[in-house]
Amino acid sequence: AQTVTQSQPEMSVQEAETVTLSCTYDTSESDYYLFWYKQPPSRQMILVIRQEAYKQQNATENRFSVNFQKAAKSFSLKISDSQLGDAAMYFCAYRSPDSGTYKYIFGTGTRLKVLA
Amino acid sequence: NAGVMQNPRHLVRRRGQEARLRCSPMKGHSHVYWYRQLPEEGLKFMVYLQKENIIDESGMPKERFSAEFPKEGPSILRIQQVVRGDSAAYFCASSERQMLNTEAFFGQGTRLTVV
């Protein structure tokens, strides 16, 4: 069974600094996507960035980038120039065809605090 | 195009009552997922439905929980005889197609509190 592990329950970063959130996963599938979602206090799940397993190039979205290490099954999120609005829960997620279900499997989350 | 709409946002039920959670997918989306988020935890898959069919309910508790997605109207997650342990946020997500590169969009969730 596929699993997603986030080993950092909470992280803090100073405003304008850079922070990296860790995620590892376990799968025997070859075709899958990985995601980072942001969940602010409103509870809305906001897609931050996604990475296709077949793409070697790391995905980047403005201040957000990933370090995808397929062999190590590692998928970390780097947030540059952190802003107060980045404070939220961050969830790493995995998605594969999984017999046609395409369901997401989420980690337990990392709470990011941004210090002014 | 409105996003995935869930209602109510907050629901309070006494132990033993029934809870009905509604999810209206985005226009044109015929695939719906329900997830449960317990306090301080990630989202856990419960059930996947297409119009009028339950495709995968491997994450649903065997008793008291049921889900439907009728031809017309929203998807409903129904919890009978609620207990304190059912208190959680319940999220719905919808997608247009079942392809890996097709994004699923999440609603804002329903927070169920059982007193």
Neighbour tally for B69: CB within 10 Å: 25
Q: Find the angle CA(B47)-CA(B43)-CA(A17) to the nearest 5 degrees.
A: 150
A77 token code pair: 């999120």
Contact B33 A42 (CB under 8 A): no
Residue B42 is nearest to which of A44, A47, A108, comparing CB atoms?
A: A108
Residue B40 Ramachandran class (φ > 0 left, ψ -120 to 50 alpha, else beta):
left
- How close does chain A come to B103, measured CA to CA in Å? 9
Question: Is the backbone of residue B28 left (phi > 0), alpha (psi -120 to 50) or beta?
Answer: left
Residue A96, number of CB atoms within 10 A of its CB = 21
Interchain CB contact of B101 with A (< 8 Å): yes
SS (H, E, C) chain A: CCEEECCCCEEEEECCCCEEECCEEECCCCCCEEEEEEECCCCCCEEEEEEECCCCCCCEECCEEEEEECCCCEEEEEECCCCHHHCEEEEEEEECCHHHCCCEEECCCEEEEEEC
What is the C-alpha separation between A110 and A34, in angstroms, rounded?
A: 16
Distance CA(A105)–CA(A3), nearest Å, equals 7
Q: Give the model confidence (pLDDT) of B36-70 as tens digits.
A: 999 888 899 999 999 889 999 999 999 999 999 99
Q: Is A64 on the interface with B (CB under 8 A)?
A: no
Encoded tokens for B33: 């997922």
Task: Supply the pLDDT for residue B53.
Answer: 93
pLDDT grade for A30, boundaries at 50, 70 and 90:
confident
The band of A2, judged by pLDDT with boundaries at 50, 70 and 90, is confident
- pLDDT for B47 equals 96
